[in-house]
Amino acid sequence: MKHDFARVTSFEPLGDYTLRVCFADGTSQDIDFRPVLTGEFFEHLRDPNIFSQVRIDPEIGTLVWPNGADFDPDMLHDWDKLKDEFQSQVSAVGTVR
The secondary structure element, H or E, covering residue 40 is helix 39-42
Q: What distance in Å separates the CA atoms of residue 81 and residue 29, rounded to the nearest whole number?
A: 11
**CATH second-level architecture of 8-89?**
2-Layer Sandwich (3.30)
Amino acid symbol at 49: N
Q: Where are the domains of the chain?
A: 8-89
Structure confidence by residue, pLDDT tens digits, 16-37: 999 999 999 999 999 999 999 9
Residue type, 14: L
- As a whole number of angstroms, the distance between CA 7 and CA 47 comes to 26
pTM, two decimals, is: 0.85
Q: Quote the pLDDT of residue 1.
A: 44
pLDDT tens digits along 48-83 = 999 999 999 999 999 999 999 999 999 999 999 988
